[in-house]
Structure 1
Amino acid sequence: MILLSPELRTALRANDRRHRAAGDGGQAESWNETHGSFDPLPVVKFFNPVGAATWLATELDEDGDTLFGLADLGFGTPELGCFSLSELAGIRLPYRLGIERDTGFATTHRISVWAEWARRAGSILWAETLLRRAAANELPSMGG
């Protein structure tokens, strides 16, 4: 599977340009230090079909390979940061599988909300379940 369609690539690049235009560039430990007021929706979700690793990407650097977003390798510590599209595409899993893109992924939650819920829940997958339940029950969400 092609990990990024032209439409997704365009949306990710647009977010990167908006981030740079906002003057909030650079990576840091906290969301506010990293992005200030720039808080986009995740554009794409990648996952390991035989494991717990999950990535939500919001931006694609002009190099066409460096993504920014929320990464969860399945160890209970999801983190905001950069990851490589080519490295994701190069991962070989059992049964001749590779990292896949969730073609049905859509969200109304900003990346900062995903990061907060994933850190509290210990994974992006569990955060996704909790966010879906909160929306279905119209419960107040943590951080919006």
Structure 2
Amino acid sequence: MDLIPDDIRKVLLANTDRLSADSSYDPVPVVKLFTPDADATWLMTRAEPYGGDLMLYGLSDLGLGCPEFGPTLLSELTEYRGVLGLPVERDPFFVPRQPIGQYIRQAIAAGYIQT
């Protein structure tokens, strides 16, 4: 499964442009990624080209109780494996309920991402 297909990539890149024009913009997550054999979750809101890679920005939780907002390279997510060696997957059923700012506040309070 392609983690970031072209239609999702376009929205992520457009969110970066919009945030550049409006610093108060609080986007909803565009894609949820997760490990099926671990508790790692990523809610990505925007992206920008980074050399031959793609830098994704969003809320990350590796299942250690320390969710954080920041950058992650697509190549790192492609290589990442859970405890049973399974790769990161995209959740095709994820529907964002709120802007990323709300997810961040809830994740900090709970110690994990709640979707």
TM-score by structure 2 length? Answer: 0.91
**SS of 2:8's equivalent?**
helix
**Match in the other structure for 1:57:** 44
Q: Following TM superposition, where does structure 1 have runs of at least 4 consecutive aligned residues deviating by more than 6 angstroms?
A: none
Judging by fraction of residues, say which structure has more strand.
2
Matches within 5 A, 1:40-55: 40-55=27-42
Higher relative contact order by CA 8 Å / sep ≥ 6: 1 or 2? 2
In structure 2, what residue type is equivalent to 1:19? Answer: L
Structure 1: tracts of 5 or more residues without a match: 25-36, 129-144
TM-score by structure 1 length? Answer: 0.73
The total of aligned residue pairs comes to 113
Distance 2:75 2:49 in 1: 14
Structure 2: tracts of 5 or more residues without a match: none
RMSD of the alignment, in Å?
Answer: 1.4
In structure 2, what residue type is equivalent to 1:120? Answer: A
**Match in the other structure for 1:141:** none
Distance 1:93 1:120 in 2: 25
Q: Which moved more, 1:86-95 or 1:56-65?
A: 86-95
Distance 1:71 1:96 in 2: 19
Distance 2:46 2:35 in 1: 20
In our comparison, the structure showing a higher alpha carbon Rg is 1
Distance 1:101 1:17 in 2: 23
Judging by fraction of residues, say which structure has more helix.
1
**Match in the other structure for 1:12:** 12
